[in-house]
Structure 1
């Protein structure tokens, strides 16, 4: 059975707002939380970007829900040995209810130290090695590693994870889906793409979980909701690899000028229609997702949680 969680957007909200949303999500009947891991927001209009590991520590003291990062890049801005320590401590704070979602990242977040931004094939190879390093460290044993991309010298996590720490791998094409099937405990994808899920299963993902989510905008007026999405999250509708290669929020703002209001209206659940929201989520259920995370765009958070508690989640059987 599919479980429904709430997606905390670090790009759009302050730390205090995110914690309040987590409390409201638990009260509304969502059973899980996901949280983004960014150094920058996609655009200046979104306006925030708190450090995810601080947020997870705070969340562990705020609610009792499981938390998953969607997703962390453990390859450039943070070394996998450091990411492993952060994830292990998060697991302990959450009583074993933490899942590490990882991906090959975006130049937007990973270029900030001045490192070269590799092509996808190299980034995928880096991710595979990073996952290998982190799994060794999660054991709590002293670890050394000398690989193509990373070196670890006699490192040990003295606070290892509490029980197994699942690593989910994000992917947006058949190659990435196959990699997720081979090295991940599950697959993260943000579209109800049955072909991608099939590639994940064929790549070794049979029996492993599929996780993803969508953004919506609940509001009393649909036109107002479309305007909100178009203003805050036009980047959701950028094509191809732009999300992976553009380096700054300013570049994303320039590219987003190509996104029309009609595109937003046609592809995002907006307004107060319960069935429009429920159908958007059902597409993920029908595609075979085990966990679906819904994120509300804009400031009408209380209205969203009330509507989902009273109307949308019951319509989904949640």
Structure 2
């Protein structure tokens, strides 16, 4: 049976609001949490971008739900050894209810230290080595690693969970999906793509979990909800590799001028039509996903949680 979780957006909300939303998600009947990991918001209008590992510490005291980053990039901005330490500590705080979601990142967040932005095949190669390093460190043994991209000298994590932290891999194309199947403990993606799930399973994913995410904009006025979704998340409608290569929120603001509101209206469940929200989430279940994580766009999250608690989740889980 498909599980339904809530996706906390660090780009839109303050740390205190994220903690409040986590509590409300649990009360509404969601069974897990995703949380984004960014240095910048996509556009300045979103307005926030907290350090995710601090927020996860607060979540461990606020909720009993499992938590996963969706997703962390362990290849540039944060060395895989430090990512492993952060993930291990998070898992200990959460009593083992933590999964590390990883991906090859976006220039928006990873270019900030001044290094080059490698093409996708190199970033995937870097990610594979980073996962190898982190898995060694999760054993709690001393690790020395001299690889193609990373060096680790006499490193040991002393604070580790009883079981190694599972590492799920984000993928948005055939090559990355095959990589997720080969090296990941699960798949993360953002579209109800049956082919992606099947490709992941054929590539070695087997029965490992496939998780999908989506955004919706609940509100009593559908037109206003569409405007809110377009203002804050038109970036979701940008094509191809563009979201991976633009380097500042200003660049994204320029790019989304090419995204008409009609495209957002056609692709995002907006308003208070129960059937529209149910269809949007159920598409992932029909595509073979094990879990779906939904986030509310905009400030009306209290109404969203009441709407999902009383009208949407009962139809999906009843």
TM-score (norm 2): 0.99
Q: Is the contact made by 1:91 and 1:162 (CA closer than 8 Å) also made in structure 2?
A: no
- How many aligned residue pairs are there? 318
Aligned match of 2:236: 236
Query: Is 1:34–1:68's contact at 8 Å kept on the other side of the alignment?
Result: yes
Map of 2:219 onto structure 1: 219
- The match for 2:282 is 282
Following TM superposition, where does structure 1 have runs of at least 4 consecutive aligned residues deviating by more than 3 angstroms? Answer: none
Hey, what does 2:131 align to over in structure 1?
Answer: 131
Partner of 2:249: 249
* Residue in 1 that maps onto 2:92: 92
Cα displacement string for residues 24-83 of structure 1 (whole angstroms, at most 9, x for unaligned residues) = 101100010000000000000001000000000000011110000000000000000000
State the partner residue of 2:21: 21
Q: Distance in 2 between matches of 1:192 and 1:161?
A: 32
- After TM superposition, the structure 1 = structure 2 runs for residues 259-274 of structure 1, keeping only pairs within 5 Å, are 259-274=259-274
CA deviation profile, 1:142-198 (whole Å, cap 9, x unmatched): 000000000000000000123231100001000000000000000101001111112
* Gaps in structure 2 of 5+ consecutive residues: none
Distance 1:63 1:103 in 2: 26
2:55 alignment counterpart = 55
Residue segments in structure 1 that go unaligned for 5+ positions in a row: none
Q: Secondary structure at the match of 2:78?
A: coil
Q: Distance in 1 between matches of 2:162 and 2:171?
A: 27
Partner residue in 2 for 1:196 = 196
Secondary structure, counterpart of 2:160 in structure 1: coil
- How far does residue 212 in structure 1 lie from its aligned partner after superposition? 1.5
State the alpha-carbon separation in 2 of the partners of residues 302 and 159 from structure 1: 36
1:134 & 1:68 partners in 2: Cα distance? Answer: 16
| SS class of match (2:271) | coil
Instruction: Say which is worse superposed, 202-211 or 125-134, in terms of deviation.
Output: 202-211
SS of equivalent to 1:50 = coil
